[in-house]
């Protein structure tokens, strides 16, 4: 297998064979792929800010911001530009290299494009990678965001096509793919992944990865989330998924998407240090930092510092990491 060349002919059977392999075999292969494409002992810190919270017209069964559910989240207006810039500066001071802005919208309205574009430009001026998640896109909007300096558009597929209707009914899988196509055509990189633990089966997790593998080119960023159950949502009583299942998904993504970021996203707050270390070993090379994600808790600076010290990882920026392995460092280690 060529560990450094993305494949675009993955079948569902291929991905199932990877996903269900003995865990040591799977993680070992993922680690081999990672070492060919990414520097050892390094990860990127990303931070996420909710720039417009609550009142979303979608009925995503996991989401605290849906207007369909009583979750205690109050609908708010779009944040002022100066507050977004201040948050970006704090994120950078805390070591973040990437700043993602999320809005609880079904779709981006043309009237809000200039405001969001100003945020993107201001965050970019702080020296951070930029990412937004704003719902569905209409024609011309992605181009305007790209012109403002947008690096990534996040729009997750969530789960397999077969299980999708059990999670969301107000937009279709094809709606999601259409938005991804609009972002791609505008020259914006894609951040596309899913959520594990929504009551889906293993075959649905395999199906999600297969759908992601069919995107050409592959998403440059693949976030893997563990469901954080929210009281008041239809999925609020979902049984927890195991960390070893998360490890299988992350390791499979590392193999299938050798050049892509695999981001360990929501769910870290409930994991032990050892469980998070397993997921980094499985191939994740980016984490979300800060006390909050959009509306859920996230490990704070102290816990993240302890995790990185325990695994011996250093924080690195995207430009350094995307250069690939640090050959001189690896040769030195091999020679000892």
Q: Is residue 4 part of a domain?
A: no
The answer to whether position 16 is within a domain reads yes
Domain-embedded: residue 170:
yes
d(CA 62, CA 54): 13
Residues of the chain predicted below pLDDT 70? 1-4, 290-300, 326-336
The pLDDT assigned to 309 comes to 85
Coil/strand/helix, residue 41: coil
3-state secondary structure of 268: helix
pLDDT at 334: 44
Question: Looking at residue 269, what DSSP letter applies?
Answer: G
Write phi, then psi, for 301 (nearest 5 degrees): -60, -40
Residue 59 has what pLDDT? Answer: 82
Stated pTM of the model: 0.90
Q: Which residues are CB-contacts of 331 (< 8 A; sequence separation ≥ 6)?
A: none
Q: What is the pLDDT of residues 229-241, one digit of tens each?
A: 888 888 888 988 9
Question: β-pairing, 129-133 with 98-103?
Answer: parallel
Q: Cα separation of 80 and 107, whole Å?
A: 19
Helices (H), 57-201: 81-93, 113-125, 141-148, 161-164, 173-185
- Report yes or no on 3 lying in a domain: no
Longest dimension (CA), the chain: 60
Q: How far apart are the C-alpha atoms of 260 and 221, rounded to whole Å?
A: 5
Closest CA to 71 of 299, 298, 294: 294
Rounded distance between C-alpha atoms, residue 70 and residue 187, angstroms? 38
Tokens 């996903």 sit on residue? 19
Nearest to 29 by CA among 253, 198, 218, 179: 253
Catalytic site positions: 56, 60, 63, 100, 131, 191, 263
Residue 274 domain boundaries: 12-334
Give pLDDT, residue 234. 85
CATH number for 107: 3.20.20.70
Q: How many domains does the chain have?
A: 1
Instruction: Flag whether 7 is in a domain.
Output: no
Residue 6 resides in a domain: no
Rg (CA), the chain: 19
The answer to whether residue 228 is domain-embedded is yes
Position 279 scores a pLDDT of: 94
**C-alpha angle 154/176/162, rounded to 5°?**
120
In a domain, 2, yes or no: no
């Amino acid at each position: 297998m060529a560990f450094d060349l993305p494949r675009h002919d993955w079948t569902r059977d291929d991905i199932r064979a990877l996903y269900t392999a003995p865990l040591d075999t799977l993680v070992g292969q993922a680690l081999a792929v990672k070492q060919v494409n990414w520097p050892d002992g390094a990860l990127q810190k990303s931070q996420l800010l909710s720039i417009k919270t609550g009142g979303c017209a979608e009925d995503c069964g996991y989401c605290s911001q849906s207007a369909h559910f009583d979750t205690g989240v109050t609908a708010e207006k779009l944040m002022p530009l100066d507050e977004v810039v201040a948050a970006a500066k704090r994120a950078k001071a805390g070591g973040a290299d990437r700043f993602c802005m999320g809005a609880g919208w079904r779709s981006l309205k043309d009237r809000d494009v200039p405001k969001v574009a100003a945020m993107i430009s201001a965050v970019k001026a702080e020296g951070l990678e930029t990412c937004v998640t704003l719902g569905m896109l209409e024609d011309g909007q992605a181009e305007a965001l790209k012109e403002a300096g947008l690096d990534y558009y996040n729009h997750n597929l969530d789960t397999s096509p077969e299980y999708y209707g059990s999670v969301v009914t107000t937009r279709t899988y094809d709606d999601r793919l259409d938005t991804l196509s609009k972002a791609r055509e505008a020259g914006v990189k894609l951040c596309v992944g899913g959520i594990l633990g929504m009551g889906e089966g293993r075959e649905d997790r395999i199906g999600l990865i297969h759908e992601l593998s069919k995107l050409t080119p592959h998403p440059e960023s693949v976030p893997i989330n563990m469901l954080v159950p929210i009281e008041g949502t239809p999925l609020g009583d979902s049984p927890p998924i195991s960390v070893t299942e998360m490890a299988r998904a992350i390791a499979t993504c590392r193999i299938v998407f050798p050049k892509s970021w695999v981001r360990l996203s929501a769910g870290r707050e409930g994991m032990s240090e050892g469980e998070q270390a397993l997921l980094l070993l499985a191939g994740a090379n980016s984490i979300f930092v800060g006390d909050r994600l959009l509306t859920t808790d996230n490990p704070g600076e102290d816990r993240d510092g302890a995790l990185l010290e325990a695994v011996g990882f250093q924080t690195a920026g995207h430009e350094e990491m995307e250069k690939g392995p640090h050959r001189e460092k690896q040769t030195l280690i091999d020679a000892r």
